[in-house]
Structures are given as C-alpha cells and as structure tokens.
Structure 1
Amino acid sequence: MSVIKEFRRSTPAMTDEAAAEARARLMSEIHEPATVQKPRVAKLGRRIVVAAALALVVGGSVVVFRDQPGMAPVAGVAELGERAAQAAENDPTPAPGPGQWLYTKELQLTGVEGDPDRDQRDTWERWTSVDGKRSAWYQGGKLMFQGSAAFDPTELGKPPVTPGGVIARIEAAILDEDRRGPQELKGHVPPELLFMEVNQLVSQQWLAPAVRSALFRALPAIQGMTVTQDVPVADGRRGVAFSLTDAEARSYLVLDPETFRYLGTNSTRLKDRTYEGADGSKETFKAGTVGLTAQLEAKIVNRPGDRS
C-alpha cells in the first residue's frame, strides 16, 4: 500500500536511548495498578502448559533486506512496534459482520536445526468466529468445533484501547485461568507466555485495527524483547521480527519488512523438555528442535468450512 511505503520515509533512525525510554514508558503504563476490569473471555483451557510447548514450534537466521527506495531496516524494537502499529491502523480491510469467521491457512515446518532432511511440512486450516468464541478445523474429512482459546475481541476493544490496557486484560485473563487451573504462575505472567498469547491473537483472531496496533506498540515493552532482521518463515519469505530468548526457546514473530503485516513464526528449542498430557501420555522435545510457520491466507468468510 502506498501509505505504508510513504510511512516514516524521512524519519531518522531511532537511537538506543530513545528505544530504552519508550520501553520504560510502556512498562510503566503496562504495570500501573489497574483501572482495567477483569475481562470476560473464552476459556483458556490448557493454555498455561500448552503455550510453552507451542513456543518450540515457532530458529533464527541471517538475511538481506530488499533494496527498496526509502526503506531501511528498523533501528530497534520500539521502531518496529510503531511501524507495525501504523500499518495496522491504516489497514483498509472492512470490519467483518458479527456472524462471520476468520479463515487462516498456515504452512508448518518442523525439524532439527541444521538437518533439513528431517524437516516435516504440514498445512493447517482454521476457522475462528469473529467474536472469539468458537474455532473449527477439518479432521478426517469432518469439520470439528470447539470453544476458541482466543480472547473476545470486543473485550480487548473496549475503550480506552491503549498498549497498557490491552496487555493488562491479557495478563488478567491468563492469571485468572491459572488460579482456576494449575496455579503455577504465582501471580506473575512470564515474558515468554505473554509473547505467545500476543502471537496467537495476531495470527489466529480477527482484531480491530486499534487493538492490533495497541498490541504491536506493547510488544517492545515485554522484558527481553529485541528486533532481529531477515528471519525466514516456513514458505521461504524473510522478514523483520520481534524476538525473545528465554531459558528454553528462541522465538520470533515475523513481519513483512515493507508492509509490516504478519508473515509467520520461527523458533528453536534450547533445552530438552518433557510434557505430560491429561491422559498421562508424555512427549519429549529435544534441544535443537526447530519450527517455522507461514501464514498463507487470512480472510473473512461467512461460515466455517468456507475458503472464499
């Protein structure tokens, strides 16, 4: 879009000091004691345990930006958040009707770092109701339904919509679910879990432009968040990414370097970990396991099962 190509054409690169100041202001807003009411959200289910497992299927790499007039690699994570937020605010896509669904098609690639012969590729299609209450997918040729794990976008969109307010609602919902479930967070949402929740909202749920832009402006304030240039996604495209490394995984949320639209994810597991399911089954993920995704399609449709 021309508006995006013109965006910040003459803006100087953001300094490290300015980025640090912006992050500090955001962190202060995000953790200011609460004027935010606890939202009514769709049930998160096993998100607290599952989100950490999902993080490992989201590796890093090095790449070169396309030589575009007036385009330059973003100087820091605060600038990336601002550019992505501006792109979301200027998205001309009309808002969906209350009974419609978001259809997404995603390429998933998992394997072992440095061993492309062991890569596995799958395509995943999902339909999520725009009210965030239901999701659907095909299994064995049959359309399956469940309550969606996504947050109700009408709750996230209640004014005033600010980076701090949206993050506070997400944190409140995570902690509420934890109190009613595993009770392992002890009142604190770790950065990697918060990053995963935002990532899933951006990739799987229709969000009003104001909400999406607020999320992008909030991402730089998450502790440990940085920007990484030239990160690949599953279909070979490369972009600029919000990146976070914790004790267990190095994860990226990747955006197109020109339009700042969502491209996909990229992650590498850094240590072995075994997860136990509700039925007692166990699955171990080894250090060096990598996963990439790429969003191939995202569109509003009238009913689950529709692709156009």
Structure 2
Amino acid sequence: MNGLKEFRRNTPAMTGDAAAAARARLMTAIREPEAARGPAASGAGRFGAGRFGAGRFGRRIAVAAALALVVGVAAVTLGDRPDMAPVAGVAELGERAAGAAENDPAPAPRPTQWLYTKELQMDGVEGDPDRDRNATWERWTSVDGRRSAWYQDGRLMFQDSAVMDPAELAEPPVTPAGVIARIEAAILDEDRRGPGELNGHVPPQILFMEINQLITDQWLAPEVRAALFRGLPAIKGITMTRDVPVADGRRGVAFSLIGPGARNSLVLDPRSFRYLGTNSTQLQTGDGKAGTVNLTAQLEARIVDQPGRRS
C-alpha cells in the first residue's frame, strides 16, 4: 500500500475524463509510473519532477509488481503473409530494428526543438468488444530530455522531465552493453539516493520499463536507439512474439518480457521495424472472469519547434 501511495503522490488530480482511460494507463505506468495523470483526451503529461525525479525508480519497483498481473497475447504464427518480414528470433529482431534506426533518413533536430507524439490507448475486456474504451493523448518532450509538456483543461502544462539525458547515452563509445550499463547505473544511483530497494541489482522488469520509456517517449540519436535494440535480446526474459496487435488494429512483431505469469510487449512494424505501440493483457482469473486488455498505438511522432505545436 505504501508503494501505491508513493506511485500516486506526485500526480495531478485526475478528471472524470481521465477515469475512463485509467485502466489503459496501467501499461503506460509500467513504462513510466511516476507519470502525472491528467485528462486522457488532452494528453496530460506523465513525468515526475526532476531529471531523475525523486523516488522515480522506487515507484517503478511498485509498478513492476503489477506486471505480474499482466500476460500478453499468445504468439500467432505469420504463415505466408507477404507483408510481414520473417524474423527467426529475438536476436534477429534486435538487429533488424537496429538497422532501421541506423538508416533513419530524418535529420538530427536542433537542441531547442521538441519531440511531439500522439498516442491512442485502448482498454477493454477479452471477448467483449462492446466494453472497449479508447482515449488519445499528446505529449511534447524536449530534445535535450529536460522538459515535457501536455495540454490539460486547454492549458499547456510543463514539468521537468524524468527521462535520461540523451546526450549522456550518446557519449562514445556507443555499444549495446555500454548503453545498457549506463541505464542500469542511473537506475541504481537513483535507488541509492531514494528508496534503496534494489540492493545493487536491476531486475529485468525495471530495465525493460526504462528502455521502453526511452524508445517510445524520447528523441535518441540513431546510434543510441540502435544500441538499445541490439541490447534488448540480452536482457533475461526478453523473447520475440509475432503478430501482436496494438490499439489502432495494426499488428507487429514484439520484444516481450515474460515474468511470473506475465508478458509485456514493445511492438514494432513487421516491415520497417519501427515502433508501433505496446500490448499487455491481464491474465484471466481462476474464477473464469475475462482479463482486461491494454493496448497503445503511436499515431504521430515528429520534431517541432516548440511545445504545443503539432507540425
């Protein structure tokens, strides 16, 4: 209970609109549990105070426990679908995704620019589409990783970002092991200065959450993004799952973290190997009740000159 209180402590008040998407945000919270909760339709920000906000990873530890309540959809074979490139395993998936990141033709943004993202979230119940609930929200994250912004009640709100400084991750040499080690060191440093619950060891769930957050929410240099994709297969419990749906109906191939009765998936396009969204499904209970489905889909992602702008 104390962990749940800490999880909620730094969040803005939730409106009635946000309540409709609350369960869908469980998956989002797995990526970023210190997130500020606001109106889902207006894109309330989800970042805690400070670049490594106080208690940030402590709250992630609490949310990691919730991961045990989530199980992903079963893997479905691709068959002869020509629109999906065959991938032999998680190592090849990492290499394909890394190659796509390295070959990204987009020019590097200026330090003063922002990453704008728009995401669809879906919350529903297995086998009962009439109970599906959708919400969209928008976020702006500064290219330097220091600030985030979102609209709440028609006003543009700001917070210091809790995302790691992308410049630190881009310091040479940039290697999969090196980038992963830097992320782990940052997590452990925050834990030592805060809750002190990790005992010098970063669980795979927390490491996956941190990498997930960086890939989905932050602009990263192509070599850093590539290193993260190449590093994911080395994390204990990470596997590949095929034909995984995201919130807008697209399907892709995913890095999936399998834990005790749980799977949480980071889904990529099966042709371009670019980020699509996330997928998690609550395990059906022993009394036969259907589990809830939580999906997201990234609808837009582009560099803009200032927060509040969409182009």
* Superposition deviation, residue 246 in structure 1: 1.1
1:251-270 to structure 2, matched below 5 A, reads 251-270=264-283
Are 2:151 and 1:141 equivalent residues in the alignment?
A: no
* Superposition deviation, residue 245 in structure 1: 1.4
Are 2:160 and 1:157 equivalent residues in the alignment?
A: no
Are 2:43 and 1:43 equivalent residues in the alignment?
A: no
Render the CA deviation track for 1:129-160: whole Å, top value 9, x for unaligned.
00000000011111111111211100000000
Are 2:122 and 1:109 equivalent residues in the alignment?
A: yes
Partner of 1:184: helix, strand, or coil?
coil
* Superposition deviation, residue 47 in structure 1: 3.7
1:60-209 to structure 2, matched below 5 A, reads 60-61=73-74, 62=76, 64=78, 67-68=81-82, 72-209=85-222
Are 2:240 and 1:237 equivalent residues in the alignment?
A: no
Q: Distance in 1 between matches of 2:307 and 2:65?
A: 27
Render the CA deviation track for 1:72-93: whole Å, top value 9, x for unaligned.
4200000000000001000000
Do 1:104 and 1:297's aligned partners in 2 also have CA atoms closer than 8 Å? yes
2:297 alignment counterpart: 294
Amino acid of the residue matched to residue 203 of structure 1? T
Q: Distance in 2 between matches of 1:117 and 1:108?
A: 16
Count matched residues: 254
Render the CA deviation track for 1:212-260: whole Å, top value 9, x for unaligned.
0000000000001111110000000000001111126311110001000
Partner of 1:207: helix, strand, or coil?
coil
Cα gap change, 1:194/1:187 in structure 2, threshold over 3 Å: closer, same or farther?
same
Q: Distance in 1 between matches of 2:169 and 2:156?
A: 28
Q: Distance in 2 between matches of 1:138 and 1:65?
A: 43
2:64 alignment counterpart: 52
Partner of 2:171: helix, strand, or coil?
coil
User: Of 285, 296, 308, which aligns to 1:305?
Assistant: 308
Cα gap change, 1:160/1:221 in structure 2, threshold over 3 Å: closer, same or farther?
same
Q: Distance in 1 between matches of 2:71 and 2:158?
A: 24
Do 1:245 and 1:251's aligned partners in 2 also have CA atoms closer than 8 Å? yes
Q: Distance in 1 between matches of 2:238 and 2:201?
A: 17
Amino acid of the residue matched to residue 304 of structure 2? V
Q: Distance in 2 between matches of 1:213 and 1:304?
A: 27
Q: Distance in 2 between matches of 1:77 and 1:49?
A: 29
Do 1:111 and 1:289's aligned partners in 2 also have CA atoms closer than 8 Å? yes
* Superposition deviation, residue 289 in structure 1: 3.1
Cα gap change, 1:179/1:100 in structure 2, threshold over 3 Å: closer, same or farther?
same
Do 1:163 and 1:217's aligned partners in 2 also have CA atoms closer than 8 Å? yes
2:236 alignment counterpart: 223
1:24-39 to structure 2, matched below 5 A, reads none
Between 251-260 and 115-124, report the one with greater CA deviation: 115-124
Between 125-134 and 58-67, report the one with greater CA deviation: 58-67
Amino acid of the residue matched to residue 177 of structure 2? G
Do 2:71 and 2:282's aligned partners in 1 also have CA atoms closer than 8 Å? no
Partner of 2:183: helix, strand, or coil?
helix
Q: Distance in 2 between matches of 1:287 and 1:198?
A: 30
Do 1:57 and 1:291's aligned partners in 2 also have CA atoms closer than 8 Å? no
What 5-or-longer segments of structure 1 have no aligned partner? 1-40, 273-285
Amino acid of the residue matched to residue 276 of structure 2? L
* Superposition deviation, residue 48 in structure 1: 3.4
- The Cα RMSD (Å) is 2.4
Do 1:82 and 1:217's aligned partners in 2 also have CA atoms closer than 8 Å? yes
Identity of aligned residues (%): 72
Between 203-212 and 176-185, report the one with greater CA deviation: 176-185
Cα gap change, 1:130/1:58 in structure 2, threshold over 3 Å: closer, same or farther?
farther
Cα gap change, 1:74/1:44 in structure 2, threshold over 3 Å: closer, same or farther?
farther
What 5-or-longer segments of structure 2 have no aligned partner? 1-49
Cα gap change, 1:158/1:138 in structure 2, threshold over 3 Å: closer, same or farther?
same
Please give the TM-score of this superposition, normalised by the length of structure 1.
0.77
Please give the TM-score of this superposition, normalised by the length of structure 2.
0.76
Amino acid of the residue matched to residue 196 of structure 1? M
